[in-house]
Structure 1
Amino acid sequence: MSSILQANGVLKTNAILKTMAHRGVSNQAPENTLAAFILAVDAGCQWIEIDVQLSSDGVPMVIHDDTVNRCTNGCGKVAEMTLSQLKKLDAGLWFNDKYRGEPIPTLLETLDFVQRTQTKLNIELKVYPQDDIALLCAKVAQVIIASGIAADQILFSSFHTQALIEMQDLLPQVRRGQLWQKIPREAFDILREIKAYSVHCDYRFLNSTIAQQIKQFDYQLYCYTPNLPELVDDYWHWGVDMMITDIPQAYAALENV
């Protein structure tokens, strides 16, 4: 897919380059699987967003929920299952028979994929009650170092500021983005503390005033999860840099955003 469209003699940027595939192209393939990531690359996305948490034996796994109940044929908490147990689960059949046998990927497998495809990866650090944040971050950092991936190919995000503080200490060269549903009043104090690169917020709670304030401080501004481009037509004019969406291909026909 071409990244530049010609119209009336003017070059216009294809808007899919301003989208991030939320858990891959998760409206067409099971979320957080290599199948969904492949579709993102095929659609022309430069960014993929994933969720990472630890297995009981300390392996960073790519899965969103704290249990495997919704997106696999198993049941139980991710944190109470070993890598071997998680790898035996079917993470595709719940979505469609076409994806029967699709496994839960590890972070290392996902990093290998984005390195091979020259895609960029937003790693959301999932923190649930009773999780050991320091251990999660240490294990993620170990895998990233072992993979040899370039720092500018990845971005950490989390709703838990402490996780981002930990990553700042462990891998300061990797950019950090604070996730919020609604941006709080103390936002800029937090962003300064973590030396943030980006702000990731629920598009439903963003307005032009807040967006302009964020851009005045030169942060990247990303919105989740607008699946209909018409819902966020005005947001591009507010300075929003990227839409994190389940349906990035819906943005492919847009121009000059």
Structure 2
Amino acid sequence: MTSPSPHLPRLIAHRGLSAHAPENTRAAVRAAHRAGFHWVELDVQLLGDGTPVIWHDSGMKRCSDGRGKLHKMHLEQAREYDVGAWFSAEFRGERMATLEEMLSLISRLDMGLNLELKVCRGRDPIALAKAVVPQLLEALPFERRLLSSFNYHALKQARHMAGPDELALGVLCKKLPQQWREKMDTLQAYSLHTDWKQLKEKRARMVKEAGIPLLCYTANDPLAFGPRWDWGVTSVISDDPQRFMD
């Protein structure tokens, strides 16, 4: 019997359509949908009160009008910050989205999601996986969800909670390690995700020959990226995937 697999597109919008809207926000997901992209990549981590939220950094400074570490905040505090105006006045008033809110939006838009378990320094990967996996399984069908992480322990916990026929896992890495196949087998993972600039042709072709989907982040130059399609790359995660279409 053939195992189920997500319906991965060629192009995935990184943190939503983050070249045109504030990253990891509902506005960025809506922008991706309007532009015709059916999958987005987003980051999830926990606030201090245990609420899973869509956010990349450990703190608020870069992408909001405030400061503070997420692990010291409860949801009401995080909601006080404007997370859109830093990008442009058009997005003034945007607020941080909880995982529940974002999953609801993606479900309504009939989109797919590559959700990264973002384990910042000193945070608990097990607690993050335990908080995220049940919501993800409940909100989206198998073919429209992919859970990835750089953190082995987060992925291991996710696999403990859901088998490969329930949840596809993606192994994130800066460059493909020598033992990539062993790691994939141990986690019963579905896909490999690597920095496109670190990808080497020989190893990419090995992954393709093994029948494993290979995703590349974060590529924004379609001409420079071009040869890698022939190496066997399945999908590109891009801030501005429209450039690949143009």
TM-score by length of 2: 0.93
Tell me the equivalent position of 2:18: 26
Superposed CA offset, 1:164-207 (max 9, x none): 11101112211000001111111111111111111000001112
Is residue 155–residue 175 contact of structure 1 (8 Å, CA) maintained in 2? yes
Q: 2:180 aligns with which of 184, 187, 207?
A: 187
Tell me the equivalent position of 2:197: 204
Is residue 24–residue 48 contact of structure 1 (8 Å, CA) maintained in 2? yes
Identical pairs, percent: 37
Aligned to 2:60, the other structure's residue is in SS state: coil
Q: Say which one has the larger Rg.
A: 1
Tell me the equivalent position of 2:229: 236
1:78 & 1:40 partners in 2: Cα distance? Answer: 26
Aligned to 1:123, the other structure's residue is in SS state: strand
Q: Deviation at 1:144?
A: 2.5
Is residue 64–residue 82 contact of structure 2 (8 Å, CA) maintained in 1? yes
Q: Report the AA paired with residue 156 of structure 1.
A: L
Is residue 104–residue 139 contact of structure 2 (8 Å, CA) maintained in 1? no
The list of structure 1 runs, each at least 4 consecutive aligned residues, that deviate by more than 6 angstroms after superposition, is none
Is residue 172–residue 194 contact of structure 2 (8 Å, CA) maintained in 1? yes
Tell me the equivalent position of 1:213: 206
Root-mean-square deviation (CA, aligned residues, Å) is: 1.3
Q: Deviation at 1:152?
A: 2.3
**Equivalences for 1:1-257 in 2 at 5 Å?**
17-145=9-137, 147-172=138-163, 173-253=166-246
Is residue 72–residue 94 contact of structure 1 (8 Å, CA) maintained in 2? yes
1:148 & 1:248 partners in 2: Cα distance? Answer: 25
2:35 & 2:10 partners in 1: Cα distance? Answer: 12
Q: Deviation at 1:227?
A: 0.4
1:84 & 1:143 partners in 2: Cα distance? Answer: 21
2:122 & 2:193 partners in 1: Cα distance? Answer: 24
Tell me the equivalent position of 2:4: none
Q: Deviation at 1:217?
A: 1.4
Aligned to 1:134, the other structure's residue is in SS state: helix
Q: Report the AA paired with residue 33 of structure 1.
A: T
2:148 & 2:67 partners in 1: Cα distance? Answer: 27
2:64 & 2:204 partners in 1: Cα distance? Answer: 38
2:139 & 2:176 partners in 1: Cα distance? Answer: 34
Q: Deviation at 1:143?
A: 2.4
- Which consecutive residues of structure 1, in runs of 5 or more, have no partner in the other structure? 1-16
Q: How many residues align?
A: 237
Q: Deviation at 1:149?
A: 2.3
Aligned to 2:20, the other structure's residue is in SS state: coil
Q: Report the AA paired with residue 78 of structure 1.
A: L
Q: Report the AA paired with residue 174 of structure 1.
A: L
Q: 1:167 to 1:204 in 2, by over 3 A?
A: same
Is residue 215–residue 239 contact of structure 1 (8 Å, CA) maintained in 2? yes
Tell me the equivalent position of 2:6: none
Is residue 65–residue 86 contact of structure 2 (8 Å, CA) maintained in 1? yes
2:50 & 2:28 partners in 1: Cα distance? Answer: 24
Q: Deviation at 1:142?
A: 3.3
Aligned to 2:143, the other structure's residue is in SS state: helix
TM-score by length of 1: 0.89
Aligned to 1:53, the other structure's residue is in SS state: strand
- Which consecutive residues of structure 2, in runs of 5 or more, have no partner in the other structure? 1-8
